[in-house]
Structure 1
Amino acid sequence: MLYVGLYFKTHRQCYYELLDAARVTGDWEAWLDFFPEAVIITELTAQKRKRLFSYTGYIEIMSRGTELPDRKDGQV
């Protein structure tokens, strides 16, 4: 599920300018084009975040160490 609300908040001025232009001049196409842009950008951001978290998890696993635990009886 995507949360496009953050995109709208981040681009609030543009959102309201386009909405006002639609109301005043009837230019609904520009305002409606804004929505798929929000969805696409939000999806791309989600994909980048997913890759970043996957990579971070990989680094965490790899940095745990690969040494074998010490044996108490002196055997290796």
Structure 2
Amino acid sequence: MGLLLGYVRVSTTDQHGQMQFDALIEAGVPEEQIYFDQLSGAKAAKDRPGLTALLGYARRDDTVLVYGSTAWAAP
């Protein structure tokens, strides 16, 4: 069985994503396995360092949880 990983993205510097972090931790994702980006959703997925790191780390049997995302696109 693989790892449980999480991803949080917020759009602006006045957003902090704490609700998303809390929901992922409550779902069982270890805090150190939550990846984070703080940038506009208009940015291309390849310009998201947290998402890029997550996808580089994740393996076939891992599960990725994303809280409240309206769009998902891998680089």
Q: TM-score range by the shorter chain?
A: under 0.3
Could you state the TM-score of these two structures normalised by the residue count of structure 1?
0.27
**Structure 2-normalised TM-score?**
0.27
Query: When you count strand as a share of all residues, which structure comes out higher?
Result: 2
Larger Rg: 1
